[in-house]
Homo-oligomer: A and B are copies of this chain.
Amino acid sequence: MSKPAIGFIGLGIMGKPMARNLMKAGYALTVHNRSRGAVEELVRDGAQDGRSPRGVAERSEIIITMLPDSPDVQQVVMAPGGVLEGIKPKSVLVDMSTISPIVTQDIARAVEAKDAEMLDAPVSGGEKGAVEATLSIMIGGRDDVVDRVRPIFEALGKNIVHIGGHGAGQVTKACNQIVVALTIQAVSEALALAAKAGVDAAKVRQALLGGFAQSRILDAHGQRMLDRNFKPGFKVRLHQKDLNIALSTAKTLAVPLPATAVVQEAFTALRGLGRGDLDHSALVTLIEDLAKVEVR
């Protein structure tokens, strides 16, 4: 079976290494990006220049989008010169961006109206996971379509889970970002209290790791807090964007998320303080500033 022609739109911090991994795996790529630098770089390595989202779609059986937010994906797919104008019947749009599950379902309907297919397949694992092809991929869409695209996912990631229908991947990603954000907040509140009480926060982290409070966040981000290492990692402003998706989806569905809302406000405060480009573990610095203490 010959490998399908792949289109790739969105060559940012995540998209560019993912596109490279696909080329490394032997796929022919047609690419597009808003700024030209990344396109020229990949063209030098053998990719085709699609010139527009429409141009990419016309030349591809599988079209991957990796874009910042819901409006970007809507624009690239729906606007004049967009993917919808070029997509062929039976082709698959695979949106690997993290966007609203509700917007995802709108786009899926528009794609299916063209006799084409859609999957939502947001990832976690960050730039490191993108470079090393170890991303976790959470997928929404039809079984048979997931099966067709699976070899491509396997060139990009490791933990590949098909959750359910259209939007289910995005819902899972939103759930992931809720749990990660609240767990960072939990560790922040606990270690700040320990520090202000004059208790060794490193010993508290160690003791808690041995019991029911154990989490990967307590382990990794707890250590980041102790090391004062807020180099991203995953930036505050990106996590805030992801919680916006979670909260607006929850509002549409009438699900109250009181603790998520508190952490979203904490991210807002961090951005106001000029810390939007720090790692999300910098949540601890907000409590530290207010409590006049430092976790060490």
- A263 vs B261: C-alpha distance in the bound complex, in angstroms? 12
Once bound together, how far apart are the Cα atoms of A187 and B200, in whole Å? 28
Instruction: Tell me which residues across on chain B come within 8 A of A191, comparing CB atoms.
Output: 175
- Assuming the A-B contacts A164-B203, A172-B207, A175-B190, are A287 and B197 also in contact, with contact meaning beta carbons closer than 8 angstroms in the complex? no
Give complex CA distance A189, B291 in Å.
28
Q: Work out how many copies of this chain go into the complex.
A: 2
Contact B171 A253 (CB under 8 A): no
Q: Is A290 on the interface with B (CB-CB < 8 A)?
A: yes
A123, B292: Cα distance in complex, Å: 29
Interface size on A, residues (CB 8 A): 71
Which residues of B are found within 8 Å of A176, using beta-carbon distances?
190, 207-208, 211-213
C-alpha gap A97/B265 in the complex (Å): 35
**Assuming the A-B contacts A163-B200, A172-B207, A259-B186, are A124 and B291 also in contact, with contact meaning beta carbons closer than 8 angstroms in the complex?**
no
Answer yes or no: A278 CB below 8 A from chain B CBs.
Answer: no
Chain B hits for A114, CB < 8 A = none
Question: Can you list 10 A-B pairs with a CB-CB distance of less than 8 A?
Answer: A163-B199, A168-B200, A174-B190, A178-B190, A182-B189, A183-B183, A189-B255, A189-B258, A214-B215, A215-B217
